Structure 1
Amino acid sequence: MRLIKKHIHKALTCSIAIVWVANGLFCKVLGLVPRHRQIVSAILGPTYASPFTLLIGFLEIGMAIWIVSGYRSRLNALTQMLVIATMNTLEFTLVPHLLLWGRWNAFFAFLFIIMIYLNEFCIKPGTPKHT
């Protein structure tokens, strides 16, 4: 059973990191999904859209590197959950019309947060069992 948990944890960790790389590199840094820049522009203004979209993209790539490094993984998981909740609350409130699934994005973000939580605090080998 421990071996299965280890493989599931590793697969989920890689999947989570891929989400951060895809959003950071492809959507923001390379600009393959213009909607991301439009969201930043609508929230911060057109003057800041390009530099902040790039900055956010590089930070998301950095998050992926942090995830796969395994360094302080609990702090990393908590940081991811906070960042996702904050970004999606802002977008839900300020620019729902620019989101891929509109306000439903918040639901998918919530599922992603749950996946991160379960992966780090329940599935990860060595996680203490609650009695």
Structure 2
Amino acid sequence: MQKKILNKILTISIGLVWLANGLLCKVLNLVPRHEQIVGRILGDAFAKPLTISIGISEIIMAIWVFTGYKSRLNTVLQISIITIMNSIEFVVVPDLLLWGKLNSVFALLLIAVIFYNEFYLNKKTTNALC
């Protein structure tokens, strides 16, 4: 029973991370550094619309996390996105990251929590990605 409760708490927390980053940081631009990161990586000309698009995608990811639909596929996608995004930022724009290159440690912790939540706490009867 405790695994189930912890799974629910972590699922909501993970969803809130995606929602906060997408809505607050990117769509509402409460953290302008995100637009600067996108501008430096993809070009300043389209930084604002691309940042908003990324934010909307993160909001969609939050909704997907909250629904629990195909949670294993969702988990693999989250881990892949976080890994790719943070690897690019680590190499290209470490000076714009909140904790510089140390951001990668927090990204790895988030990945570990997401993995643990799905593959340990959320036991499924099948091992398929669905």
Coarse TM-score class (shorter-chain normalised): over 0.9
TM-score, length-normalised on structure 1?
Answer: 0.94
Quote the Cα distance in structure 1 between the aligned partners of 2:39 and 2:125: 41
Q: Which runs of 5+ in 1 are unaligned?
A: none
Q: Structure 2: which amino acid aligns with 1:108?
A: F
Q: Distance in 2 between matches of 1:19 and 1:66?
A: 13
Query: In the alignment, which residue of structure 2 is the partner of 1:92?
Result: 90
> Taking every aligned residue pair, what percent have the same amino acid on both sides?
54
d(CA) in 1 for partners of 2:59, 2:31: 16
CA distance in 2, matches of 1:104, 1:48: 28
In the alignment of these two chains, the number of paired residues is 126
Letter of the structure 1 residue corresponding to residue 15 of structure 2? A
Q: Give 1:48's aligned residue.
A: 46
- Please report how far the alpha carbon of residue 126 of structure 1 lies from its aligned counterpart in structure 2 after TM superposition: 4.0
In the superposition, the TM-score normalised over structure 2's length comes to 0.94
What residue number does 1:70 align with? Answer: 68
Counterpart position of 2:102: 104
Gaps in structure 2 of 5+ consecutive residues? none
Deviation at 1:124, TM superposition (A): 1.1
